[in-house]
Amino acid sequence: MSVVEVTGLSKRYQTLTAVDGLNLSVEAGEIVAVVGPDGAGKTSLFRALCGLIAFDTGSAVVAGMDVRTDMERIKPLLGYMPQNFSLYPDLSVEENLQFYGGLFGVPKDRYAALKERLYRFSGLAPFGGRRAGNLSGGMKQKLALSCALIHEPKVLVLDEPTTGVDPLSRRQFWDILLSLRRDGATIIVATPYMDEVALADRAVFMHLGRKLAEGTPEELRRRYRGRIFRLAVDPTAEQMTRLAGIEGAAPYRFGAEVHLYTPADMTADRVRERLAACGLTTPVEPIAAGLEDVFIQLMGAQ
């Protein structure tokens, strides 16, 4: 059963088309990652879903209800975490939770149990008395998520909740998302990190208000056209110039080695031959395309 159904959604700001006839269907209990550059339309899409902006054409339906006409009934089901979530830096962790609990009308007799559950998820219990402004970046984002979860929403819309957060805190944040999903939550989350996309059930790549591609992380990886070879070459400027001379191939430096992007019909042996012609004898190892390679290729094709 689809919990979120977006059909032909468009949103224009004067001459700019932020969202351009977008379709998106999200099943109950699914985590969908949304990836796209600045200006792809992610934030407009999320705001439209949460009834925060009017859109021009198309429809958005959450839990069977139209966001244009039924927002009051949808609101209790929705948890929205905008890109710059405003915690109150002068209030403690606990006071922030209390405030959002009050705002969303969480019954007093339910609040204590909810708070305990969120503390268990987030590991924030020892910091309950600390001012939110004095938390580290990762902890702040966990508190912001906790505040968005205080009314037990069934559908979470999270706009880049982990941007600028370190890898361990991001992993812990996703552990929370995965356990919320096990409890039946449906999650739409924008992220710039492909390692997070790999943890989602499905991903949507967006560009200029449209969908570039959609699928499970594995399906998306298979969308890559071409091959990639890892070369154990010290990537000096001189070596890079020689490699750039190989016809039809594009060399990119990756730290202490080079990745050579080639057309699909290239083989490791032919790469070796061509390297030998440049006077290079170096180990050549084919590697699998990552989600980022696919994204870059799809964007480049636009």
Partner 1 sequence: MDYAVTVDQLSKTFGTFTAVDHISLTVDYGEIFGFLGANGAGKTTAIRMLCGLLRPTSGTGTVNGFDVNRQYEKIKPSIGYMSQKFSLYGDLTGRENLRFYGAVYGLSNSRLKDRIAELTAMLELTEFIDRLTGPLPVGWRQRIALAAAIIHRPRIIFLDEPTGGVDPVFRRRFWEILYSLADEGVTLFVTTHYMDEAEFCRRISIMHQGKIVVMGPPRQLVAAHGLPNLQETFIHLIAERPVDG
The footprint of partner 1 (CB under 8 A) covers 36-39, 123-124, 126-127, 130, 135-139, 160, 163-171, 192-195, 235-237, 252-256, 292, 295-296, 299-300
The whole-angstrom separation of Cα 31 and Cα 215 is 12
In the complex, minimum distance from the CB of residue 59 to partner 1, in angstroms, rounded to a whole number: 29
The whole-angstrom separation of Cα 212 and Cα 54 is 24
Q: Which of these, 204, 177, 214, lies nearest to 29 by C-alpha position?
A: 177
Choice between 129 and 279, CB closer to partner 1: 129
In the complex, minimum distance from the CB of residue 199 to partner 1, in angstroms, rounded to a whole number: 12
Structure token pair of residue 84 = 């710059």
Neighbours of 109 (CB within 10 A): 7
Q: Which of these, 49, 45, 41, 40, lies nearest to 4 by C-alpha position?
A: 49
What's the full length of the chain, in residues?
Answer: 302
In the complex, minimum distance from the CB of residue 27 to partner 1, in angstroms, rounded to a whole number: 27
In the complex, minimum distance from the CB of residue 169 to partner 1, in angstroms, rounded to a whole number: 6
Q: Is 152 exposed, middle or buried (0-12, 13-18, 19+ CB in 10 A)?
A: middle
In the complex, minimum distance from the CB of residue 110 to partner 1, in angstroms, rounded to a whole number: 26
Choice between 137 and 263, CB closer to partner 1: 137
CA-CA-CA-CA torsion sign (259, 262, 268, 269):
negative
Could you give the angle at the alpha carbon of 125 between the alpha carbons of 124 and 126, nearest 5°? 95
Choice between 107 and 129, CB closer to partner 1: 129
Neighbours of 232 (CB within 10 A): 11
In the complex, minimum distance from the CB of residue 245 to partner 1, in angstroms, rounded to a whole number: 17
In the complex, minimum distance from the CB of residue 171 to partner 1, in angstroms, rounded to a whole number: 6
The whole-angstrom separation of Cα 62 and Cα 78 is 9
Neighbours of 30 (CB within 10 A): 18
Amino acid, single-letter form, for residue 101? G
The whole-angstrom separation of Cα 254 and Cα 215 is 27
In the complex, minimum distance from the CB of residue 148 to partner 1, in angstroms, rounded to a whole number: 19
- CA distances to 186, 202, 213 from 9, rounded to whole Å, are 20, 20, 17
For residue 111, the SS3 value is helix
